[in-house]
Amino acid sequence: MTNIIKTNKLCKTFSNGGSQQHVLQNIDLEIREGDFTIIMGASGAGKSTLLYALSGMDKPTLGNIDFAGKEITKMNSDELALFRRENCGFVFQQTYLVDSMSVLDNVLAAGYLISNDRKATVAKAKEILKSVDIDESLWGKFPTQISGGEAQRVGIARALVNSPKLVFADEPTGALNSKTGKAVLDALTKFNNKGQSIVMVTHDITSARRGNRILYVRDGEIAGELELGKYVSGNKERHQMLRDFLGEMGW
Amino acid sequence: MNKLLLLTRSHLRKNKGTSIGLLFLMLIASMLIGVSLLLMLDAVPLAKKEAARLDAGDGIIRITGGKEAIDDDFIVDCLGDDVERYFISKGLQYSDCSIPFNDGTVLLDAVVVNSSAYDREMARAEIISEDTSVTSDYVILPYIFHSTGNVEIGDDFSIELKGTKENLKVRGFSSTPYFAGTNLGAMELILDDDTYAKLYEKDSETNSCTMIPYELKEGVKQSRFSLKVDSKIIVKAPDSQVSLVTMSNTVTGRTFMSMIIAVSNISTTAVILVVILLMLVSSISNYVRENMKTIGALKAVGYTSKDLNRSLVIQFITISTIGSIIGAGCSYLLMPLIAKFAVAQVGIPYHVSFNVICTVIPVVSVILYTFILAVLSLRKTRKIEPIVALREGVADHNFKRNHFALDKSRSGLNVNLGLKTMMANKKQNAITFFVVGGIMFLCIMSLLMFWNFNLKPKYEIMAFETCGAAITAEPEYKDEVRKFLSDNGGSNVRELDTFHLTYNDEERFYVYITEDASKLNNQNGLYKGKFPKYDNEVALSGKFAREYDFEIGDEIKLDLGDKSYTYVITGFLQSANNLGREGIVTLSGAKHVFDMDKYPSTFYVDTDGREASDELIKKCSDEFGDHLLSKANFYESMEGSLSTFKNLATMMLIIIAAISAIVIILVLFLLIKVLIYNKRKDYGIYKAIGYTSRDLILQTALSFMPSIVISSIVFSFVSYFVANPYMNIVMMAFGICKADFDIPVPGVAIIAVCVNVLSFAFALFEARKIKKIEAYNMLIAE
């Protein structure tokens, strides 16, 4: 399998007055194409910091990140933005839709960034919205007029509209109840099964089950890794393997 | 109180940018109010104070001709019991003399006196500055020659007095109460005793002049006294010319320009105050929105709405106090520059001095204005409940329509998102719309002044009739002169004389006498009705008609001595001259009250320009010599008269342009700052999904452009059509009722383009702050 991301001695240190906090320490990591990679760990372990460093949203203090053959740690803020629009999609815990835009416009605002073919982009945006079960009646509504689960699925549609090499999801179900959370995970799983690579941070075991590769972060380091087969609903053996791994990691 | 100051200090610290922006706006407002007040209360009264200092009395009577009939005993008899005191002095007068002034000449009566002018018991002259080393062949000129006429001590001064050129040196400048301005009818020239004696010997037979400044007894009406004296002198010496000038008219004439500038300043100040109103209301409402959580927390720990409101009011009062005090101070720095043009025309040295009223009023008015606005705008914080505020539950957005839907739009992505931002910020864009509108109006008004007084001077504002040259011939030569002018390159030769009539035994009336009003170049002199065509018709100045409630079609009885005639009013004139006491009748109409054939005739003739006028005047002088009583190159005269206006219009254009640019920059600074703050989360989201800072800066700048572009277009049209009616209102006091100033369309377009380019450039500059917003910071802030 091809690597999308390869990091080399990735470090992130926060300075606060005289003290320093090493959040990421010498991380060497590969993210593979087609994987649904899960990053787990306790609160404050550095999992979100790792996710945003990998995506180029945050700059590491030391180390290199090769993303799709490009060294992104050397890029400036605008170069990173241009890189992200073609290669990354993001799903955030808080959805972060633009309140003053309709559901469809939120998706198109990302889609138009890389496509000059407006008709094709609109068609694709509508298709993706349908595929994440956002009914046509909701397309003209504003984010404040739809439910949290629906808003998160719109966020997924926005992340996928440009067919990015990798989708980064930061606890996408963290603010949702179990029913709406499941719908969001189903949507992500569906796209992963179609070949979309995903990296997801979560501290929820139900969400983690959707991944085929689990990375456990502790004190800014990758403390352990578990390879699982692709997610199949009701596979108890797979679930147990995950439980055992997390038990080993002290979860 | 301590807790309030604590809160106020915290507000100020948190809102440094907004506070500085508002402070500058308040500074400008206070400065403009200060300058207007200094003009009205310090500079304008200058002429009146100087008149009192020089003991000018209530007016001056100037009599020329009739030397044998008018002696001092007769004058005493004329004045009768109406005057408290008077003083008789003698001099020479040269009517309609071309006096060198600036790059041209001014056509005025030259009143020539000697050093005895300093010893007059009333209306004395005083030296302001002089070079005592110049001891012969010198002239001491009224100070206006120095303040606006570009003349310095030691300059050569050549003037033609009754056909003889006198080459003099300027020894100094004087202050004299009556004959000291380009729009006061006459200039007093003080010559050295020898030169004066030589001139007196040569010209006293024809040009001797008696001047009688007087002070009226209490209760005596000026107009009635003037008419009484006028008619007595004309009966006794019909060939004499009498001019009566009142002190109040002289003061009005001298301060004409200062008043125009004061009015312009007040207009500018009004626009700035509206801008402050909009910005203050917007800033307060934004402050409440930004600090909702803080307000909630403070309320939760026991602060009352009153406490919070008071601290905010103290904040804005602090800003307005600092801004207005600095502004009032700046008005003293700006005033010398304004005075250089505005007060120069008064013809009296002016030095800005501290004036309590002009300092206190701007400060108090700006503070009071801010206080009222702050109190009114802060009423809504009282309704905010702590728990709601803590949850930031006070909705400030209410999206009902998805404007500029991306799936249906054909425009560029940045343009489209900019338009969406615009629709989400309607209030800010409404503010921009009206601010730019006000700025457009001010700029177009100053363009109007610059164009009509400087680049393409509107001569008809300054003169009743425009022409190339005006030549006055003795009665016996009028037909020959007319023919000569026609045969030697002049065109449209028309007779236009002037005379004084009276109305109702109390109003002196300056009457133009035309042979054919349709031949006049300045048809705009009549703003309503029609010019007189028949012998029983008259057109009156609108100002006079309003005062006496005359309508077109009414009859008016005009007198000259014991003769009178009743004319039908056919139209209304507009005029800035003779304080609006003007009318026009036909030659045949004038003959009802006096014999025109006995009086000199003035011919107005069109030429191909200044040089052609000079050439025609020279030819005519060579042909007729002393039989021409006066000759004036109109272009030259206007050049001299308009020079002060030209400088003034240029200065006003520069000042208004500078203030406009500063106001646009301050307003955009405040609005964009608020916009970026309010949209910082959206900008973070945009950056996360791949928008560059450049995209977002462009979107932000573009979001203000529709309101700026639309406003500049709308207000270009509005100002274009409103400018002349507005000028009518401003200039009505000066007799102009139907201003027909030209407004160059390309100039308006240039202003609109400049406003748009400046706004867009500054919006891009200010929106660069978006660069500091990082998507990651937005994510970890939650």
The proportion of chain A whose per-residue pLDDT surpasses 70, expressed as a percent, equals 99
- State residue A15's pLDDT score: 82
**Tens-place pLDDT, residues B370-391:** 898 888 877 766 666 666 665 5
Q: Does residue B741 belong to any structural domain of this protein?
A: no
Q: Which of B641, B673, B690 is the last residue of a domain?
A: B641
Sheet containing A19-32: order of strands: A19-32, A3-16, A62-67, A70-71
- Verify that B504 and B613 share a domain, yes or no: yes
- Verify that B325 and B279 share a domain, yes or no: yes
**Cβ contact B779–A52 (<8 Å):** yes
Q: Does residue B451 belong to any structural domain of this protein?
A: no
Range of the domain at B483: 461-641
Q: Which of B195, B221, B254 is the last residue of a domain?
A: B254
- Verify that B302 and B236 share a domain, yes or no: no
Amino acid at B38: L
A interface test, pick of B426, B689, B693, B776 with most A CB neighbours within 10 Å: B689
| Tokens (6 digits) for B532 | 């007189």
Q: Does residue B57 belong to any structural domain of this protein?
A: yes
User: What's the rounded Cα separation, in Å, for the pair B779 and B782?
Assistant: 6
- Verify that B236 and B87 share a domain, yes or no: yes
**Cβ contact A99–B691 (<8 Å):** no
- Verify that B250 and B321 share a domain, yes or no: no
Are A168 and A51 within 8 A, CB to CB?
yes
Q: Strand, coil or helix: what is B350?
A: coil
**Tens-place pLDDT, residues B589-616:** 988 887 777 788 899 999 988 889 989 9
Contacts of B402 in chain A (CB under 8 A): 101-102, 105, 140, 142
Rounded to a whole number of angstroms, the distance between the first and last alpha carbons of chain A is: 29
- Verify that B69 and B217 share a domain, yes or no: yes
**Strand extents, DSSP E, chain A:** 3-16, 19-32, 36-41, 62-67, 70-71, 88-91, 166-170, 197-201, 213-218, 221-227
- State residue B107's pLDDT score: 78
Q: Does residue B465 belong to any structural domain of this protein?
A: yes
- State residue B577's pLDDT score: 66
Contacts of B685 in chain A (CB under 8 A): 96-98
- Verify that B243 and B271 share a domain, yes or no: no
Write down how long chain B is.
782
- Verify that B282 and B313 share a domain, yes or no: yes
- Verify that B151 and B200 share a domain, yes or no: yes
Local mean pLDDT, 10-residue blocks, chain A (251 residues)? 90 82 90 94 88 89 92 90 91 86 91 87 93 91 90 92 93 84 91 94 90 92 90 82 90 79
Task: Work out the minimum CA distance from A232 to partner chain B, whole angstroms.
Answer: 31
Are B536 and B530 within 8 A, CB to CB?
no
- Verify that B278 and B211 share a domain, yes or no: no
Are B508 and B244 within 8 A, CB to CB?
yes
Nearest CB to A100 within list B420, B693, B778: B420
Write down all domains in chain A, each with its CATH number in brackets: 32-60+76-248 (3.40.50.300)
Classify the C-alpha dihedral B649-B651-B655-B657 as positive or negative: positive
**Tens-place pLDDT, residues B262-318:** 777 777 778 877 887 787 777 777 777 777 777 777 777 777 777 778 888 888 899
Q: Comparing C-alpha atoms, which of B432, B442, B435 is closest to residue B723? A: B442
Is the full-model pTM beyond 0.80?
no
Q: Determine the angle formed by the axes of helices B256-290 and B634-678, rounding to 10 degrees.
A: 10
* B525: CATH: 2.40.40.20
- State residue B387's pLDDT score: 62
The alpha-helical segments, DSSP class H, found in B378-496 are: 386-390, 413-424, 426-450, 459-462, 478-487
Are B427 and B656 within 8 A, CB to CB?
no
Tell me whether B148 touches chain A (CB under 8 Å): no
| Tokens (6 digits) for B193 | 């005793």
pLDDT category at B454 given cuts 50, 70, 90 is confident
Tell me whether B411 touches chain A (CB under 8 Å): no
Q: Distances from the Cα of B391 to the Cαs of B331, B384, B416, in angstroms?
A: 47, 11, 32
User: What's the rounded Cα separation, in Å, for the pair B726 and B267?
Assistant: 11
Q: Does residue B493 belong to any structural domain of this protein?
A: yes
What is the separation of C-alpha B438 from the centre of its chain, rounded to a whole number of angstroms? 19
**Does the pLDDT of residue B724 top 90, yes or no?**
no
Q: Which of B192, B224, B254 is the last residue of a domain?
A: B254
User: What's the rounded Cα separation, in Å, for the pair B388 and A5?
Assistant: 45
**Strand extents, DSSP E, B478-622:** 491-503, 507-514, 526-529, 537-541, 555-560, 563-573, 582-586, 601-606
Q: Does residue B753 belong to any structural domain of this protein?
A: no
| Tokens (6 digits) for A144 | 């404040």
- State residue B393's pLDDT score: 47
**Cβ contact B690–A58 (<8 Å):** no
**Tens-place pLDDT, residues B66-96:** 666 677 888 888 888 889 999 999 899 888 7
pLDDT category at B394 given cuts 50, 70, 90 is very low
The predicted complex's ipTM stands at: 0.86
Q: Does residue B657 belong to any structural domain of this protein?
A: no
Q: Does residue B125 belong to any structural domain of this protein?
A: yes
- Verify that B39 and B54 share a domain, yes or no: no
User: What's the rounded Cα separation, in Å, for the pair B594 and B574?
Assistant: 25
Amino acid at B116: S
Q: How many CA atoms lie within 13 A of A139 on its CB side?
A: 21
What mean pLDDT is reported for chain B?
84
Total domain count, chain B? 3
Q: How many CA atoms lie within 13 A of B397 on its CB side?
A: 18
- Verify that B614 and B595 share a domain, yes or no: yes
Mean pLDDT, to the nearest integer, of B722-734? 79
**Does the pLDDT of residue B578 top 70, yes or no?**
no
User: What's the rounded Cα separation, in Å, for the pair B350 and B344?
Assistant: 8
